[in-house]
C-alpha cells in the first residue's frame, strides 16, 4: 500500500511516517507543488491532505489538490485533515469526492482505523473498476454477437423469408419489396406457382430481429412442407394444415402470426382470400379504377381457433392486387386504419397499371411520420395480365343515387342476364330471375339509402359492375356513404314467389338470394359490396364475352 501525505506541519509529517513504518510506503511532502510532482510520478493508493495548505502556499490549497488527485488517481481513497474549517469547505470537500475528514489532532488508533476504512474503500473501487471493465468487455462482445446475429437474420430474410419464384408465371407480373427496421424482421413472403395459377402468402411474426426471423423461418419451412398440398388444394385446406403445424411453435415461442393468403385461379379468373388478422388486400379494378379493400375476420395464428373462412371475388384482366404489412400502415400514425388505406390508395393512383415495381418500393420506403411507429415493412404487388376467360362478360354502368333509378337498374341487369337464361328450363329460369331481381332491388335500395344518408347535398353516383361467367352472376357495387352493418341484420326466411313484391326483409333477403355476400369498407365513407348467385343450370348457360361495356 502506498500513501502520499501533504501537510505543511513538520511534526505531523514525521508522526505519520513513523506510524506507517513497516505498514506501508509513505511519502510526506509540505507543498502542493511537491504533491503534484509525486502524483504524476507514480501510483498512490491513499492521500492525506491538509485543508489549510493555501494559507502558507499561494500555489494552491488542499481542496484544489484533492481535485487534482482524483483526476490523476480516480480509484485512490482521500482524507482531508484539518484543525478548523468552514462548513462550506467541508461541503466542497464532499462534493469533490473526499472519503473522510479527519480532525487534528488525532490519535494513532483513530489514524489506523481511518486507514483500514480507506483501504476497504480503495479495494471496493478497484473491484468496481475491474467489474466495470469486464462489463464493458462483455458488452463489446455482445454487440459483436448482435451484429453477427443481425447479419445472419438479414441473410435469412434475403434468401429464405422473402423470396419470389425464379420462373415467370403466365398471366401474372409479381413484384415485392421489404425494409427491416432492425436489420431483419419477422415479415415473410411466399409466392408459389400452383396448378390453378399462383398462391401469395404474406405474414408477420410478432417481434423483431433474429428471434422473429427464426420463427418466420420455421413458418417458411412449414409452408415448404405443404408444397404438394398447396399446388392442388384450396387455400382453406392449406391454411388448416399450416395452422396445425405452426400453432405449437408459436405458443412455445410466445408469439403469434398475422397472415394473409391469396390464391389466384388464372383459368377461372377468381381470387380466393384467407385472412388471419392481417391488413386488407387491395384489389384495384382496371375497368373503372375502383379499389376493393378486402378484409377477413379471423384472429392471428397462435390464438385462432375459429373455423377457417375465405372470401372469393372475380379478377379481371389488368387488375392489380396489393398486399401490405402492418408496418406500412403504422408509419403514418393515423388514428383510423381506413385513413391509412386512403393514403395507400392515393399512392396507387400515382403509379399506373404496369408500374408495380416502383409502387412497392415507394410504399416500403415512405418516411415515418412523427406520430407513426417505425416497424418492419413488406409489400407484394401483382399485375393480373391474364385474359378474361372466354365464358366471361363484363358490364359497367353508373347510376344516380336516387330511388327513382331502381327500375333502370333492374331493367339494365335483366337485359344483360336474360340471354344467358334462354337455354334453361322456363320454370327454373323464372324462379331464378325473380329471386335475383328481389336481391338486386334490396341491394340497390340499401345502397342508395346509405349513399343519401351520408351526402351533404347531392349523393355521389353509384357504380355497378356486372360480371357473368359460366358458373354464375357477380354484382359489384361501389358508393360513397355509410357502411352496411351486416352483423345487425335479422335472420328471416325468404318469402314465397307470390309474396316477392313485399318489402321489409332488408339484408336478410340479400343473404338468402345470393350464395356469397361481401361487405367491404374501404376509405372513409367509401364502400363496396360484392354478391354472387350461381346459375340455375350451369351446363346450359350461354355466355358471350363482350369485354367491358358501358
Confidence of residue 432 (pLDDT cuts 50, 70, 90): very high
Q: 185 falls in which pLDDT band (50, 70, 90)?
A: low
Distance CA 180, CA 223 (A): 22
* Nine cell digits for residue 161: 423469408
Task: Give every strand in the sheet of 172-179, ordered side by side.
Answer: 172-179, 377-384, 320-324, 281-284, 291-294
Query: Who wins on pLDDT, 75 or 229?
Result: 229
Please give the domain boundaries of the chain with CATH numbers for all domains: 2-128 (3.40.50.2300), 164-384 (3.60.40.10), 393-549 (3.30.565.10)
* DSSP three-state, residue 154: helix
The model's confidence at residue 498, banded by pLDDT at 50, 70 and 90, is very low
Can you give the pLDDT at residue 161? Answer: 62
Range with the lowest mean pLDDT among 109-118, 332-341, 409-418, 446-455? Answer: 446-455
Cell numbers for 335: 388514428
Does 503 score more than 50 pLDDT?
A: no
**pLDDT tens sequence across 289-310:** 889 998 877 899 998 788 888 9
DSSP secondary structure of 469-538: -SSEEEEEEEEESPPP-GGG----PPPPGGGTT----THHHHHHH-SEEEEEE-STTEEEEEEEEE-SSG
Model pTM?
A: 0.70
Neighbouring-strand partners of residue 77? 46
Determine which of 24-33, 137-146, 209-218, 463-472 has the lowest per-residue pLDDT on average: 209-218
pLDDT digits (tens, 9 = 90+) for 90-119: 777 777 778 888 888 888 888 889 888 888
What per-residue confidence (pLDDT) applies to 480?
86
Tell which residue, 260, 256, 148, has the closest CA to residue 200: 260
Dist. CA 507–CA 438, nearest whole Å: 11
- For residue 231, name the pLDDT band (cuts at 50, 70, 90): confident
Confidence bin at 492 (pLDDT 50/70/90): very low
Q: Where are the beta strands (DSSP E) in 73-141?
A: 77-82, 100-103
Phi-psi sector, 263: left (phi>0), alpha (psi -120 to 50), beta: beta
Give the pLDDT confidence score for residue 35 in this predicted structure. 86
User: What pLDDT is attached to residue 417?
Assistant: 92
Q: Which of 14-28, 35-49, 354-368, 516-530 has the lowest mean pLDDT?
A: 516-530
Residue ranges of the alpha helices (H) in 253-401?
A: 326-330, 337-350, 356-364
Lowest model confidence (mean pLDDT) among 43-47, 273-277, 438-442, 535-539: 535-539
Identify the top-confidence range among 82-96, 120-134, 203-217, 379-393. Answer: 379-393
Averaged pLDDT, 312-324? 94
For residue 90 the three cell numbers come to: 467541508
Nearest Cα residue to 321 out of 113, 139, 171, 196: 171
- DSSP lists the bridge partners of residue 478 as 463, 528
Angle of the 108-156 helix axis to the 10-20 helix axis, nearest 10:
70
3-state secondary structure of 150: helix
Which pLDDT score is estimated for 550? 46
Q: Are the C-beta atoms of residues 222 and 242 closer than 8 Å to each other?
A: yes
* Residue 505 pLDDT: 56
Lowest mean pLDDT among 15-24, 154-163, 365-374, 453-462: 154-163
In Å, how far are 399, 416, 473, 484 from 467, measured between CA atoms? 17, 10, 6, 22
Segment 331-351 mean pLDDT: 89
- In order of 100, 129, 130, 180, 461, the CA distances from 142 in angstroms are 39, 19, 18, 21, 62
**Which pLDDT belongs to residue 367?**
87
In the block, cell 407513426 appears at 372
pLDDT band at 500 (very low <50, low <70, confident <90, very high): very low
Give me 135's grid cell.
462489463
Amino acid at each position: 500500500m502506498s500513501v502520499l501525505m501533504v501537510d505543511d506541519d513538520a511534526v505531523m509529517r514525521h508522526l505519520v511516517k513513523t506510524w506507517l513504518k513497516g505498514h506501508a510506503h509513505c511519502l510526506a511532502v509540505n507543498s502542493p507543488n511537491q504533491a503534484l510532482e509525486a502524483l504524476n510520478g507514480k501510483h498512490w493508493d491513499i492521500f492525506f491532505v491538509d485543508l489549510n495548505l493555501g494559507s502558507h502556499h499561494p500555489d494552491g490549497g488542499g481542496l484544489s489538490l484533492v481535485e487534482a488527485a482524483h483526476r490523476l488517481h480516480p480509484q485512490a481513497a482521500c482524507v482531508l485533515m484539518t484543525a478548523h474549517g468552514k462548513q462550506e469547505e467541508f461541503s466542497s470537500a464532499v462534493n469533490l469526492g473526499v472519503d473522510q475528514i479527519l480532525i487534528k489532532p488525532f490519535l494513532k488508533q483513530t489514524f489506523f482505523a481511518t486507514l483500514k476504512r480507506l483501504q476497504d474503500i480503495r479495494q471496493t473501487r478497484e473491484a468496481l473498476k475491474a467489474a466495470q471493465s469486464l462489463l464493458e468487455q462483455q458488452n463489446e462482445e455482445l454487440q459483436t454477437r448482435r451484429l453477427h446475429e443481425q447479419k445472419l437474420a438479414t441473410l435469412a430474410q434475403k434468401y429464405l423469408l422473402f423470396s419470389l419464384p425464379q420462373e415467370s408465371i403466365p398471366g401474372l407480373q409479381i413484384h415485392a419489396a421489404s425494409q427491416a427496421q432492425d436489420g431483419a424482421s419477422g415479415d415473410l413472403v411466399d409466392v408459389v406457382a400452383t396448378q390453378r395459377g399462383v398462391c401469395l402468402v404474406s405474414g408477420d411474426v410478432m417481434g423483431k430481429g433474429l428471434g422473429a426471423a427464426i420463427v418466420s423461418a420455421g413458418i417458411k419451412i412449414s409452408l415448404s412442407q405443404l408444397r404438394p398440398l398447396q399446388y392442388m388444394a384450396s387455400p382453406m385446406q392449406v391454411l388448416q394444415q399450416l395452422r396445425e403445424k405452426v400453432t405449437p411453435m408459436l405458443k412455445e415461442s410466445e408469439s403469434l402470426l398475422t397472415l394473409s393468403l391469396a390464391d389466384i385461379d388464372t383459368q377461372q379468373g377468381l381470387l380466393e382470400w384467407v385472412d388471419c388478422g392481417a391488413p386488407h388486400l387491395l384489389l384495384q379494378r382496371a375497368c373503372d379504377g375502383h379499389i376493393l379493400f378486402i378484409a377477413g375476420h379471423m384472429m392471428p395464428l397462435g390464438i385462432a381457433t375459429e373455423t377457417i373462412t375465405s372470401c372469393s371475388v372475380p379478377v379481371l384482366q389488368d387488375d392489380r392486387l396489393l398486399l401490405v404489412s402492418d408496418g406500412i400502415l403504422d408509419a403514418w400514425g393515423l388514428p383510423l386504419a381506413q385513413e391509412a388505406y386512403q393514403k395507400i390508395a392515393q399512392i396507387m393512383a400515382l403509379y399506373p397499371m404496369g408500374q408495380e415495381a416502383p409502387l412497392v418500393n415507394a410504399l416500403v420506403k415512405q418516411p415515418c411520420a412523427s406520430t407513426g411507429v417505425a416497424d418492419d415493412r413488406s409489400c407484394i404487388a401483382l399485375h393480373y395480365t391474364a385474359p378474361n376467360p372466354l365464358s366471361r362478360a363484363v358490364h359497367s354502368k353508373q347510376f344516380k343515387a336516387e330511388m327513382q333509378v331502381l327500375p333502370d337498374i333492374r331493367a339494365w341487369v335483366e337485359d344483360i342476364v336474360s340471354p344467358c337464361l334462354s337455354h334453361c328450363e322456363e320454370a327454373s329460369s323464372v324462379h331464378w330471375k325473380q329471386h335475383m331481381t328481389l336481391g338486386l332491388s334490396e341491394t340497390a335500395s340499401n345502397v342508395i339509402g346509405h349513399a343519401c344518408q351520408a351526402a351533404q347535398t347531392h349523393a355521389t353516383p353509384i357504380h355497378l359492375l356486372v360480371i357473368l361467367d359460366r358458373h354464375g352472376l357477380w354484382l359489384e357495387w361501389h358508393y360513397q356513404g355509410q357502411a352496411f352493418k351486416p352483423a345487425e341484420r335479422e335472420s328471416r326466411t325468404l318469402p314465397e314467389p307470390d309474396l316477392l313484391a313485399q318489402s321489409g326483409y332488408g339484408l336478410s333477403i340479400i343473404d338468402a338470394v345470393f350464395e356469397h355476400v361481401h361487405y367491404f369498407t374501404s376509405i372513409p365513407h367509401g364502400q363496396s359490396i360484392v354478391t354472387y348467385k350461381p346459375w340455375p343450370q350451369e351446363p346450359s348457360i350461354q355466355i358471350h364475352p363482350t369485354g367491358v361495356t358501358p
